[in-house]
Structure 1
Amino acid sequence: MAQNPQAQPASPAGPEPAPSFSLLQPATAGILTALVGFGSTFAVVIQGLAAVGATPAEAASGLMMMCFAMAVLGLVFSLRLKMPVSVAWSTPGAALFASTGMVAGGFPAAVGAFIATGAIIVIAGMWKPLGRLAAAIPPSIANAMLAGVLLKLCLAPFAAVAIEPGLALAVIGVFIVVGRFARLYAVPAALVAALVLLFAGSLTGHGGAGFDPAALALPRPALVMPVFTPEALIGIAIPLFLVTMASQNIPGLAVLSAFGYRPEAGPLFRGTGLASILIAPFGGMTINLAAITAAISAGPDAAADPARRYIAAAIAGVCYFGLGLLAFVAATGFGGSPPLLIQVVAGLALIGSFGSAMLAGLKDEADRPAALVTFLFTASGLSIAGIGPAFWGLAGGIAVLMLHGRLKRRHG
C-alpha cells in the first residue's frame, strides 16, 4: 500500500517551542537604568542648582519634578514607539551651572534660562534647520567645551584630600576598587560610602551637619517665578542648549541607532523641550534623551528579543516615579551635608564623562588648536558682562576654526 507523500510521522517531541520570555530580565535592566541614572549624578544636580542660587527646598523641588517628568516621558515614548527610549536630566548641564555660578537675577533668572532652553529645544524639534545647526557644531569644539566645564568639578575630589584626607581618600578608594571589578557600580558604591561616613559622622558628632531628619518630610513643590535677563539667556540658556544637544540628545539617538532603533528625532525633542518648560517654574532644569544609561535598556542585557526591550525603558519610567517621591530625602538630606562631601561624589561621577569629552575634543589633530582654546577658555572661569565661561569658550573655539578655514571646508 502506497504511503501518502503528504503524511509525515509525528515527531515525538512535537513542534519546537518558541523561546520563553520572562519579565525578570527587562525589569532588572529597567530598575538598574533608573538607579544608576539617579544615584550616580543627583549630587551633581544638587550642586549645580545650588550654584545658580537655588535654596535646598528649591533644589529638592527641582529634583522631584525632573524625576516625575522623566517617568512620564519614559513611559510615553517607550510604550508608544515600542522602543527603549530612556529620558534623563542633563548632567553636563548641571555641571555647567556649577561652573557658571549665580547670574544677575539669582535663581529666578536661572529658571527663566531653563524655560528658554526648553523652548529652543522645542523649536529644534519643529524646525529642522535649527536641529541641524546644533548638530553642525564640530564635535571637537562641543566636547572641548564640556571638558572645560567638567575639569574643576573633577579636580574637587582630589583637592579635598588636602582638606579632609580621611573622608576623601575613603570615598576615592571605594570608587577605584569597585571600578576595578564593576565600573558601572563604582559611582553608586562611592555614594554609599559617602553616606555611611556622613551617617557615622552625625552619630559621633564629627563630619559636619550630618543627615537632617527633616528630609523625611513629604514632597513639596516650590514655585519660582521666572525672570528673563540677557546675562542668563546668553550665559546659561545658549550653552545649556548646545551642551544638551551635543552631549545628551545626539549621543542618545546614536546609542539607540547602534542597537537598531531609529526613532524620529523631532517628536522626542519636542516632548523633552515641552516637559522642560513645564517643570522649570518648580526648579527643574532641562531633561533630555538618556545617553549613557540608554545602553542599559537598549542593549541585549535588557532582553534577547530587541522588540521587547522597550519594556525595560518603561519599567525605568515607573521607577523614576518612586525616586521622585524620595527626591526630597536625597536633596534635603544630602544637600545638608558638608559641601566637600557633595563635591567629592559629584566629581567622581563626572570623571568618565570628562575623559570621554577630552579624548573626543582632541582626537582630530586639525581641530586641536581650536579645541584647546575652547577648553582653556571654558576651564578658566572667565566671566565678561555676567556671561559665563562656556559661552566664551565656544565663541573662542569657533573663531579659531574660522581663522583656519576649518568651518568653510567642513560645511562648504
Structure 2
Amino acid sequence: MLQPILLGLLAAFVGFASSFAVVLAGFAAMGATPEQAASGLIMLCLLMGLLGAGFSIIWRMPVSIAWSTPGAALLVTTGAPEGGFAAAVGAFLAASLLLVAAGLWRPFARAVERIPPPIAAAMLAGVLLDLCLAPVRAVGALPWLALPVVLAWAVMLRVNRLWAVPAAVLVAVAALLLGPGLPGAGSWEPPRLVWVTPGFEWGAMVGIALPLFLVTMASQNLPGYAVLQANGYKPEMRSVFLVTGGGSFLGAFFGGQLVNLAAITAALCAGPESHPDPKRRWVAGLVASLGYLGFAMVAGVAAAVVAAAPPLLIQAVAGLALLASLAGALTAAMSSEALRVPAIVTFVVSASGLSVAGIGAAFWGLVAGGALMWLLRAK
C-alpha cells in the first residue's frame, strides 16, 4: 500500500505548489486584502481535502478535487469589479449556484456541453494569454529575481516536467530571502478564516460568474471526468456538481472561489503508477485529499510570502504554471477547420481586455465567437 500513499502525497504537493500563486494572484486582482486572500486559500484547501476524501471513501475511486486554476487566471485578467472583493464574492456565489443547477437540471448541463470545444478552448486561451506573458515581462523588469526562476523551471522541465513549477516556486522564495527579503516576515500570524459579506453587481454577475462557471466546466470538470473514465472509473457527475457547487457556495463566504474535479492530479492518482490494482488506487485519492488538509495549515504563510513579493514575480510564476494549459487550449481551439475563424475571434476578444458595461472580455469573446459561428453556419 506504500505506492498509492506516496503518489497521493506527490499529487497533493504538485497540486498545491504548482498553482497556489495563480489562486492568490486572482484574489489580489479582485481587490482582496492579504487576510482575505489567505482565508480564501485556506477554505479552498479545506474543501479540496474534505470533499476529495469523502468521494474517495464512499465511491472507492481515486477522486481528486481541485481549485479552478483557469478560473483563477480569469480573475487575474478580469480585474477588480465595481464593488471590490465583496462583488467578486457575490460572483463566486452565483457561479457555485450554476454548478448546482448543472447537477439539478440536466438540460442546463447539456446546454453547457453543447458549447463547441474549440470555442470554449479559445476563450480559455484568451484568458490565459496575458498571464503567460508575465514571465517575459518579469525578466525585463526584475531580471535578478525572475531570471533564476525561469531558468530553474526550464532546467527542471528537461529533468522532470512534474517538478518544473514547484522548482520555480522554491527558487522564487529563495531569491526573495537572499535578495530584498520578505517584509513583515516576523509578524506572520496563524491561519484563520475571514468572513466576507458578499455584494451583488450586475457587471460581476455576467463578467465574472458566467465565464468562471464555463471555464471551470470546460477546462476542469470535463477533462477531470475524462481522466477518470479513461482509467476505468465513472463517478456520478450529478453528485459531483451538487457537492462541489454546494461546497463552493459555503466557501465563498470566506473568500473561496470554485472547486471542481482535478485533471492533472487525478491522472497521478488514477493511473497505473498509483497501483497495479485499480481497486486500490482510491487510497491515493484519499491521501492526496488529506495532504490538502495539511496544506490548509500553511496556506497563511504561503499567502504572506506572495503578499510580500513583487506582484510581477508572482505573476511570472503563475504564468510558467499555465504555459502547458495555454498550449493545450490553443491546440484544441485550432483543431476544427470549420470553427477556426470563430475560435480565433473568441481568442482575440477574450485576450483583448475589453470591458463593456462592466462585463469582462471573456464573456464578450464567447459572444463574438458564438455569433460568428452562427452566422457562418447560417450561410
Normalised TM-score (structure 2): 0.98
- SS of residue paired to 2:133: helix
Counterpart of 1:168? 146
Does residue 66 (structure 1) correspond to residue 38 (structure 2)? The answer is: no
**Alignment partner for residue 284 of structure 1, among 256, 264, 284?**
256
Q: Counterpart in 2 of 1:13?
A: none
Identity %: 54
SS at match of 1:158: helix
Which residue matches 1:327? Answer: 299
Equivalent of residue 46 in structure 1, options 5, 10, 24: 24
Tell me, in whole angstroms, the C-alpha distance in 2 between the residues paired with 1:131 and 1:336.
41
Matched, 1:339 2:311: yes
2:289 corresponding residue in structure 1? 317
1:246 aligns with 2:218: yes
Q: Which residue does 1:213 correspond to in 2?
A: 186
1:80 is the counterpart of 2:53 = no
Structure 2 matches for 1:356-375, cutoff 5 A?
A: 356-375=328-347
- Quick check: 1:100–1:381 contact (8 Å CA) kept in 2? yes
Q: Could you report, residue by residue, the CA deviation over 1:98-151 in whole angstroms, capped at 9, with x for unpaired residues?
A: 010011111111001101111110110111111111111110011000000000
Structure 2 match to 1:271: 243
Task: For residue 282 of structure 1, give the secondary structure of its aligned residue in structure 2.
Answer: coil
The runs of 4+ residues in structure 1 deviating greater than 4 Å are none
| Contact 1:36–1:188 under 8 Å retained in 2 | yes
The equivalences for 1:178-193 within 5 A come to 178-193=156-171
**Which position in structure 2 is the counterpart of 1:133?**
111
Question: Is residue 203 of structure 2 the alignment partner of residue 225 of structure 1?
Answer: no
* Cα deviation 1:140-197 (Å, max 9, x = unaligned): 0110000000000000101112111222221111111110120011000011111110
Query: Do the aligned partners of 1:93 and 1:240 also contact (CA within 8 Å) in 2?
Result: yes
Task: Give the match's secondary structure for 1:223.
Answer: coil
Specify the SS of the correspondent of 1:293: helix
Query: Please, which runs of 5 or more residues in structure 2 have no aligned partner?
Result: none
Q: CA 1:210–1:158 in 2, change beyond 3 Å: closer, same or farther?
A: farther
TM-score, length-normalised on structure 1? 0.90
AA aligned opposite 1:402: W
Tell me the CA shift for residue 297 of structure 1.
0.4
Residue 234 (str. 1) matches residue 206 (str. 2): yes
Cα RMSD (Å):
1.2
CA distance in 2, matches of 1:48, 1:214: 24
Please give the alpha-carbon distance, in whole angstroms, between the structure 2 residues aligned to 1:121 and 1:165: 42
**3-state SS of paired residue (1:366):** coil
The question of whether the paired residues in 2 share the 8 Å contact of 1:149 and 1:378 is answered with yes
Distance 1:154 1:362 in 2: 19
